[in-house]
Amino acid sequence: MPQEPAVLIDHVSHAFGDQQVLQGVSLRIEQGEIVGLIGPNGAGKSTLLRSMVGIIRPDQGSVRVCGTDAVRDSLAARRHIGYAPSETALYHQMTSEQLLAFAIAFHPHADHALGLSLLDKLGVPRTKRLGKLSHGMKRKIVLAQAIASGGPVIVLDEPTEALDPEARRMVESELRKQAESGRSVLFSSHDLTSVERLCHRAAFLRRGAIVRAGAAAELAAEAGRLLHLEFRSPLNREQLPQRGDWRWQGQATRWSLQHNDAVESVLAVIAELPIDGIRDGGGSLEEVFDALYGGDRT
């Protein structure tokens, strides 16, 4: 009998007034899997995460977390989730230790000792009031409580934002450990290097729809079939050779070519162009991002 997914998002759509933010998004996350949600600002990443924890009620579609309908019974679904929002609007009169205890008290499998350990590892003073802490310190507290909640699903909105490199590595290590124990992790991020290091799968969101998803390593490998070219004189798209599924992105003297052919055959076709420089894409999620979003990256 197949294992029930930790998260099942099925054709979720949502609009704020006339602005369509999510358009039929479907995503399945297995138990013990780490999935990265990627996209430029305004792509719908935060809205999708908020629909999982009951902050936003989708206009259409369904969200199930550990078998619980997160739209009809958001409170029950929320008990399965350790959530770290991107905002750090916390109770400033509380200390970090008090906030941790308060936040995880609503979760049946919370691990207070783990939370305190994470605060210590991240260098967060336990007894200092939150109002006197930096944005980066507050981010660490929010992450610590999400992990310490004990929920089988961890949902993080931009978890590495404002973290120093050492803290980022520590958080990544802890998330790997949690996934190995069977917990599932879904996080949005602009830090494509962290996504590439950490995630089993990645999903690219653009204008409210998933435009690409798959194993992170395979997506990165596909980016190796991307060439960056600089020409001695400006060219328009009509002057560039077209073959099957070739995709050109760029303008004037700088263009990128995404292809699925042997590099040797591509070079033979473009040899007559006024090439001043050429660089292989090298295979990274950064290259996938650039190929998918082109000029609308923010």
Short-list 195, 94, 193, CA closest to 145? 94
Q: Which amino acid is at 129?
A: R
Residues 221, 168: Cα–Cα separation, whole Å:
24
Look up residue 125 and give its two tokens: 């003073």
| DSSP assignment string, 223-289 | GGGEEEEEESS---GGGS---TT-EEEEETTEEEEE--S-HHHHHHHHTTS-EEEEEE--S-HHHHH
Say whether pLDDT at 174 is over 60. Answer: yes
Q: What band does 223 get if pLDDT is binned at 50, 70 and 90?
A: low
What is the number of alpha carbons within 13 Å of residue 249 lying toward its C-beta? 18
End-to-end CA distance of the chain: 44
Whether 297 has a pLDDT exceeding 50, the answer reads no
pTM of the prediction? 0.80
Would you call 280 helix, strand, or coil by DSSP?
strand
Residue 197 contacts residue 207 (beta carbons within 8 Å): no
Mean pLDDT throughout 184-189?
A: 95
pLDDT of residue 293: 75
**Nearest 5°: phi and psi at 9?**
-105, 125
pLDDT for position 138: 93
Predicted confidence (pLDDT) per residue in 49-94, tens digit? 999 999 999 999 999 999 999 999 999 999 999 999 988 888 899 9
Residue 114, classified by CB atoms within 10 Å of its CB into exposed (0-12), middle (13-18) or buried (19+), is: middle
Cα angle 246-248-249, degrees, rounded to a multiple of 5:
150
Length of the chain, please?
298
pLDDT of residue 298: 43
SS3 category, 50: helix
pLDDT of 296 above 70: no
